[in-house]
Amino acid sequence: MIELRNVTVKYGDLTALEDVTLSVHEGEFFTIVGPNGSGKTTMLRVMAGLEYPTRGEVRFRGKKIDKSTLEMLRAKSTLVFQKTVMFNTSVFKNVAYGLKARGFSEEEIRRRVREALKVVKLEGFGDRHAKALSGGEQQRVSLARAMVLGTELLLLDEPTANLDPKNASIIEEAIAYIRDKKGVTVVMSTHNMFQARRLAERVAVIIDGKIRHIGYADEVFGEPSDYLVSFARLENLFSGSARSLEDGTSVVDIGGVEIVTVFPHKGKVTLFIRPEDIIVSRKPIISSARNSFKGKITEISDLGNLVRLRVEAGRKFTVQITKRSFIDMNLNLGEEVFLAFKASSVRVV
């Protein structure tokens, strides 16, 4: 559907994208993954026709986009920004704005707005003032505003960033509906590897404006590799200095936190701990696990039957537990928890 060929975008001396080449197939759910400032938003703006490359070319359905055809690309695509801006009016009028601008009949506008609000679970919110809604509800209005336009390419810039699990889950369900039921091609940027692996068919990893890898989600995230070190805050990838112990194990200092591993090693190493291998408890954990830390929950993400926690324990750890465990422990943001994982769960990248 859309293709970037050797696209570079510069802002003065700053290079936001460098020699980016990728293609997105029709009907695909494609995700761009990268840390903040990596070029994700710039890439989406190029795909939406809001940014014109300094070098390289964009093709939509095989046709090259130049400055004279940018309006066509803008009409075929819709970009939902991370920071939602609501018009100072009702939810209904916010969602209907684009349809009125395109000259749709009042009857068709009402039908489309009703359907969109139902998909984002905001039925009955039409008369409410949009700016009085919570941040998560406003993001759902923004998605509904994009959905009603019926464009062929939906571009989403970190649509669930900083949202609570309930709103994030609703938005993910709505995106899946738009793709599966409406046949819309979806390109989403995120720094959340769990979300990318769970939702996307293919993934592009971008770091410092350059594509590091493109492939199917399981292929990209199946095994840790050097270019994923940038996502340490999400995937428990840590670099540090190792020293060997007399029992044949090693201790790795990852910056104020020491992790015990089963392998004998010295010098600089990069470690990986799977989020599902970390045990979480409200009380100190008594077990054979060599690694035990006390921390505080700083982020909660609802993954359906699973819940992802980010815990500050000297370093930020990501933990994945079942929804049942999360409910049984009655966990919440800001609460103190204890983490534990076996030395054998620590892998070397």
Name the residue among 235, 200, 180, 199 with its Cα closest to residue 347: 235
CB 87 within 8 A of CB 77: no
pLDDT of residue 173 exceeding 60, the answer is: yes
pLDDT at position 268 is 85
Q: Which CATH homologous superfamily contains domain 2-221?
A: P-loop containing nucleotide triphosphate hydrolases (3.40.50.300)
Residue 18 one-letter amino acid: E
For 71-92, write each residue's pLDDT tens digit.
999 999 999 998 888 999 999 9
Crossing angle (nearest 10°) for helices 106-119 and 91-101:
130
What is d(CA 77, CA 184) in angstroms, rounded to the nearest whole number? 10
CA 341 to centroid of chain Cα atoms: 26
Q: What is the pLDDT of residue 66?
A: 92
CATH topology agreement for domains 2-221 and 226-348: no
- The pLDDT, as a whole number, for residue 231 is 54
Segment 47-55 shows an average pLDDT of: 95
Most confidently predicted of 30-39, 100-109, 218-227, 270-279:
100-109
Q: What's the pLDDT score for residue 165? A: 78
pLDDT at 275 over 80: yes
Q: Is the pLDDT of residue 236 over 80?
A: yes
Query: Do residues 264 and 297 touch, judged by C-beta distance below 8 A?
Result: no
Residue 6: the pLDDT is 97
Q: In what order do the strands lie in the sheet with 153-157?
A: 77-80, 153-157, 185-190, 29-33, 202-207, 210-216
**What is the Cα–Cα distance from 122 to 138, expressed in whole angstroms?**
10
Check the CA dihedral 9-10-16-19 and report its sign: positive
Q: Give the pLDDT band (50/70/90) at residue 233.
A: very low
Q: What's the first-to-final CA gap in the chain, in angstroms?
A: 36
pLDDT > 70: percent of the chain: 95
Q: Output the DSSP codes for 64-120.
A: EE-TTSHHHHHHHEEEE-SS----SSBHHHHHHHHHHHTT--HHHHHHHHHHHHHHT
Mean pLDDT of 89-113: 94
Band (pLDDT 50/70/90 cuts) for residue 223 is low
Give the mean pLDDT of 172-181.
Answer: 91
Q: What is the pTM of this model?
A: 0.69
pLDDT recorded at residue 269: 82
The one-character DSSP state at 47 is: H
Instruction: Please give the pLDDT value at position 349.
Output: 59
Q: What is the largest CA-CA distance in the chain?
A: 78
Non-local (6+) Cβ contacts of 222 within 8 A are none
Q: What average pLDDT does the structure give for the chain?
A: 89
Q: What are the domain boundaries of the chain? A: 2-221, 226-348
Q: Kindly tell me if the per-residue pLDDT of 178 is higher than 50.
A: yes
Lowest-confidence region among 122-136, 144-158, 238-252: 238-252
Distance in angstroms (rounded) separating the CA atoms of residues 315 and 259? 11
CA distance 267 to 271: 12
pLDDT at residue number 234: 47
Nearest-CA neighbor of 206 among 82, 35, 81, 53? 35
Q: What is the pLDDT of residue 224?
A: 53
Pairwise CA distance, residues 114 & 248, whole Å: 65
Instruction: Give the angle subtended at the CA of 217 by the CAs of 212 and 219, to the nearest 5°.
Output: 75
- Region class of 230: left (phi > 0), else alpha (psi between -120 and 50), else beta: alpha
Q: What is the pLDDT of residue 232?
A: 42
Mean pLDDT for 239-263 is 88
- Split at pLDDT 50, 70, 90, the class of 63 is very high
- Summarize the confidence of residues 24-42 as an average pLDDT: 91
Q: What's residue 87's pLDDT? A: 92
From 342, 319, 349, select the one nearest 262 (Cα to Cα): 342
Q: Of 157 and 269, which is predicted with more confidence?
A: 157
- Name the fold adopted by 226-348: OB fold (Dihydrolipoamide Acetyltransferase, E2P) (2.40.50)
Q: Is the pLDDT of residue 229 over 70?
A: no
